[in-house]
Amino acid sequence: MKEISAGGVVYRKQDGRLQVQMIQDRYGKITLAKGKMEPGETVEQTALREILEETGIQGRIIEPVEIIAYQYTNPSLGVVDKEVHYYLVEAVDGSLQAQMEEIRGVEWLEPLEAWRQQQESGYDNNNSALGKALRKLGLEV
């Protein structure tokens, strides 16, 4: 079975300073907003819908960042081939509001603080996506 999810590294410029959005998931890990594709959606639509649902922020896709692929075992479905499509997404509207059914919290961070938290408390497979997105924004990590 194949499962596709999409999400993004969301950023904004606030008072001339770049900020990156990070969420804390229900397991207490630092991560990026993402979720499963629904029937009839494109991966881009999925990414923007999931960001809006999980964080309250409406975004605009700037460019793809990367696709992360891995496998996991679902007790009822067996081995699942998972693809997560990440995009660089500019925040265009909305205010932070965590979807408490799915995540514990969401916040805007300075880019290097987002990177530090990812390194300390994030999922290893997100290192590459966040690093590539920060480089696309002109930062070296």
Amino acid at residue number 35: G
Give me 129's structure tokens: 């996506």
Print pLDDT tens along the chain (141 aa): 999 999 999 999 989 999 999 999 999 999 999 999 999 999 999 999 999 999 999 999 999 999 999 999 999 999 999 999 999 999 999 998 888 888 899 999 999 999 999 999 999 989 999 999 999 999 988
The pTM assigned to this predicted structure is 0.93
- DSSP H or E stretch at residue 120: helix 111-121
Kindly list the domain boundaries of the chain, sorted by start residue: 2-136
CATH 3.40.50.720, domain 2-136, yes or no? no
**How do strand 57-74 and strand 33-36 relate by DSSP bridges?**
unpaired
DSSP secondary-structure letter at 122?
B
Contact 54, 132 (CB under 8 A): no
The confidence score (pLDDT) of residue 141 equals 84
